Amino acid sequence: MIAEIISFGTELLLGQIVDTDAAYLAQKLSQCGVSVYNRATVGDNLERATAALTLALSRSDIVFCIGGLGPTGDDLTRTVIAAALDAPLVRDPALVAHLTAWFEKRGYTTSDAIFLQADVPTGGVPIPNANGTAPGLWVEKDSKTVVALPGPPNEFVPMVDNEILPRLQGTGFVICSRTLRIVGMGESVAEEKTADLMAAANPSVAPYAKPAEVHLRVTAKAASADEAEALIAPVADEIKARLGSVVYGEDDQTLEEVVVRLLEAQGKTVATAESCTGGWLAQRITAISGSSSVFHTGVVTYANESKTGLLGIPRALIGAVGAVSPEVARAMAERVRDLGQADFGVGITGIAGPGGGSDDKPVGLVYIAVAGPSGTELTKNIFPGQRADVRWRATQTALDMLRKQLIG
């Protein structure tokens, strides 16, 4: 079954709100084996909205219309469906009674406009809306189906889950996917190493570049979730075997979560000393529930006197080599490890920009040190991007260095 989604509304078209409804529906449809090939957004304009629905009906079996079902003048979806399917609107007495009761129960007065929501294209049936006044619509004609749902997410999402998906079950196959999360390897290298797997169709493998990460999503189509999983597992294992330890996690696992769980499992702790990242590394670690057993102490030594005062890094050292230097990164890591009585200490010092760079020490230069039981490891990095990118990449690299020490 080929589906298409059309979102109606000038507010959506002009980007004043982001269309989370369509993304939600597309995800759910693909999970139950309905192929979505096109999505469109049109404004509250009768002609263009009707053209969009007519085009969608010409190439898809089922078209989902989101929004435009309310009682106001710019709610055109009913009229558009009636026009595209040549199925004139008829007022449904049961819906009129339902709306009347809904308003009376709340002590609101009704207006004529309210009852526009009781109009149904000929041959269509209303879909109950537990959280609002506008019912959805399900209209079948000439082997095509049009489904309309109201736009407010608190109405839309329960209607998709409780009304739409049950009617679509058993339409055939399911689509399942697993995401392998990679840090420390670029998208093009990851793709090169898995090119043959990416050429296959089921399961398919597709790369996604994320900030300082790459995700490889393995997706399989099968008659059941178990069968899909059986297709995914060997390919996921093969990718892990080829890429090795750069695959740090799966699906929704974040790098900080993996690091916190490794520390937990090994009964180890980490302390952080941050300059250019300004507390972001500590923030990421403590974002993980349960991190209090592995993280006790962090310092943000943003100024030189703070590096000297809090960590005892000699003023003379900073004077001689500069605050952004391998020596200072190393000292920060080692001294915060002592200060926090931790198994690992991380030190980060760099130039996040936009100012502060020089030919010698450009914006993006970040030294990161991880001090552990078996010594101190140091990296020199030149990160691309804006201030926030440089800072993010520095926390990402620091977490990955720590992860590598933990996995040996």
Residues 75-94 that bind a second copy (CB under 8 A): none
d(CA 170, CA 185) in angstroms, rounded, equals 40
Choice between 236 and 365, CB closer to a second copy: 365
Binders of a second copy among 125-164, rule CB under 8 A?
Answer: 131-132, 152, 154, 158
Q: Which stretch binds a second copy (CB under 8 A): 141-149, 349-357, 365-373, 400-408?
A: 349-357
CB 197 within 8 A of CB 239: yes
Binders of a second copy among 95-114, rule CB under 8 A?
Answer: 105-106, 108-109, 111, 113-114
Q: Which stretch binds a second copy (CB under 8 A): 41-49, 222-230, 324-332, 367-375?
A: 41-49
Pick the binder of a second copy from 50, 60, 272, 396 (CB under 8 A).
272
- Region of 337 (left: φ > 0; alpha: ψ -120 to 50; beta: rest) is alpha
Choice between 112 and 375, CB closer to a second copy: 112
3-state secondary structure of 165: helix
Determine the length of the chain.
Answer: 408
Phi and psi (nearest 5°) for 135? -75, 160
Is residue 329 a contact residue for a second copy (CB under 8 A)? no
3-state secondary structure of 331: helix
Nearest CA among 84, 18, 23, 12 for reference residue 48: 84
CB 156 within 8 A of CB 8: no
Pick the binder of a second copy from 44, 92, 213, 343 (CB under 8 A).
44
Tell me the closest approach of the beta carbon of residue 39 to a second copy, in angstroms: 4
Phi and psi (nearest 5°) for 25? -65, -45
Is residue 297 a contact residue for a second copy (CB under 8 A)? yes
Amino acid at 297: T
Q: Which stretch binds a second copy (CB under 8 A): 188-196, 220-228, 242-250, 369-377?
A: 188-196
Is residue 191 a contact residue for a second copy (CB under 8 A)? yes
Tell me the closest approach of the beta carbon of residue 284 to a second copy, in angstroms: 8
Is residue 17 a contact residue for a second copy (CB under 8 A)? yes
Amino acid at 132: G
Phi and psi (nearest 5°) for 362? -75, 160
Pick the binder of a second copy from 1, 26, 95, 233 (CB under 8 A).
26
CB 302 within 8 A of CB 275: yes
User: Token digits for 321?
Assistant: 């080599």
Tell me the closest approach of the beta carbon of residue 122 to a second copy, in angstroms: 25
Q: Which stretch binds a second copy (CB under 8 A): 230-238, 242-250, 304-312, 370-378?
A: 304-312
User: Token digits for 87?
Assistant: 């199925």
Tell me the closest approach of the beta carbon of residue 300 to a second copy, in angstroms: 3
Is residue 186 a contact residue for a second copy (CB under 8 A)? yes
Residue written as token pair 């140091």: 378
Binders of a second copy among 227-266, rule CB under 8 A?
Answer: none
Binders of a second copy among 196-225, rule CB under 8 A?
Answer: 198, 206-209, 211, 217
Q: Which helix (H) or strand (E) holds 377?
A: strand 375-382
Tell me the closest approach of the beta carbon of residue 18 to a second copy, in angstroms: 5
Is residue 16 a contact residue for a second copy (CB under 8 A)? yes
d(CA 118, CA 99) in angstroms, rounded, equals 8
Is residue 354 a contact residue for a second copy (CB under 8 A)? yes
Tell me the closest approach of the beta carbon of residue 237 to a second copy, in angstroms: 22
Choice between 87 and 371, CB closer to a second copy: 371
3-state secondary structure of 267: coil
Reduce the secondary structure of 10-50 to three states and give it as a string: HHHHCCCCCCHHHHHHHHHHHHCCCEEEEEEEECCCHHHHH
DSSP string, 69-136: -SSSTT--HHHHHHHHHT--EEE-HHHHHHHHHHHHHTTPPP-GGGGGGGEEETTEEEE--TTSS--E
Pick the binder of a second copy from 171, 286, 376, 379 (CB under 8 A).
286
Pick the binder of a second copy from 39, 78, 268, 337 (CB under 8 A).
39
Tell me the closest approach of the beta carbon of residue 124 to a second copy, in angstroms: 23
Choice between 139 and 346, CB closer to a second copy: 346
Tell me the closest approach of the beta carbon of residue 66 to a second copy, in angstroms: 12
